Amino acid sequence: MLAHIDAFARGIIRDAGAVLLRGFRAPDLVVEYKSRTDLVTNIDRESERLIFDALRREFPGHVIIAEEGSRAEEGDDYVWYVDPLDGTNNFAHGIACFCVSIGVYSRREGRMAAGFVYDPFHDELFHALHGSGSFLNGAPIRISTTDAVDISIVATGFPYNKKETANNNSREFCSVMPEVQGVRRFGSAALDLCSVACGRIDGYWERQLKPWDCAAGAIIAEEAGGRVTRYDGSNFDPEYPEVLATNGRIHERMMTLLRV
Ligand code: IPD
Ligand code: CA
Ligand code: CA
């Protein structure tokens, strides 16, 4: 089954990436506001429809949970978490940092089974299957070897409802920022996790995520040798909206800095 999932997901995610590329910086892009800060475009919806319809046909017995509302709820083992466009704010502003993210969770095993993240602008396809390592365009990738926080580049993100809640990452940001070489806010949780996986950055933390944001990237970071947990070091769970992903070497120190 995993080989089938792998071959299918790598094909469909490239097709969805082509939809994103066609809509990127296009004059007829339609932007709607789910809230003042949370955008959705016609391209998010088109990409989701393509993936959802294809998944339904190929795996009728699997659960599908997609960000823009598509659901297939009857199924036993596999759950597909689909983010048809991660980095929508970047996309809507013409900033070339966005991707399609597809994570596959096995209920039977109680863990992620596979993850696929495709950045069509840079033509980078990240993928991982449980126990088999992580790959970028078919070549194996590994986490960085940076072993101290003060020479680390880390990334984070802030929730859309940041004005309404004090739990908006400002305390954690102020705690980490002076201690590291640099903090980045790229605007795509899935690509942040893949950047940890391939060693471009040394760590990433964010709260209030949804499973479609982080499920795929989490297994890709882990299979590349990274450590992926909640802030307190307990097991990552895609349904629990908190992730700290690092190269492992800076994990304990990051956990301490996030305890604010
Ligand atoms: C968002 C991005 C962003 C993260 C937000 C997510 P979207 O997803 O991953 O980096 O900070 O929490 O909601 O809305 O672009 O799919
Ligand atoms: Ca997302
Ligand atoms: Ca999205």
Per-residue pLDDT of the chain (260 residues; tens, 9 = 90+): 999 999 999 999 999 999 999 999 999 999 999 887 789 999 999 999 999 999 999 999 999 999 999 999 888 899 999 999 999 999 999 999 999 999 999 999 999 999 999 999 999 999 999 999 999 999 999 999 999 999 999 999 998 888 888 889 999 999 999 999 999 999 999 999 999 999 999 999 999 999 999 999 999 999 999 999 999 999 999 999 899 999 999 999 999 999 99
Residue among 65, 70, 138 at smallest CA distance from 103: 65
Structure tokens at 110: 């109680």
End-to-end CA, the chain: 43
d(CA 197, CA 218): 9
User: Ligand 1, closest atom to CA 86?
Assistant: 16
**Best residue among 34, 67, 167, 188 to mutate for probing ligand 1, ranked by most atoms within 8 Å of CB:** 188
Task: List the residue whose alpha carbon is closest to atom 8 of ligand 1.
Answer: 86
**Best residue among 39, 86, 93 to mutate for probing ligand 1, ranked by most atoms within 8 Å of CB:** 86
Q: How far is the CA of 239 from the centre of ligand 3 (A)?
A: 16
Total residue count of the chain as it appears in this document: 260
- pTM over the 0.85 mark: yes
Q: Are 118 and 139 in contact (CB under 8 A)?
A: no
Structure tokens at 9: 């997901």
What letter would DSSP give residue 204? Answer: E
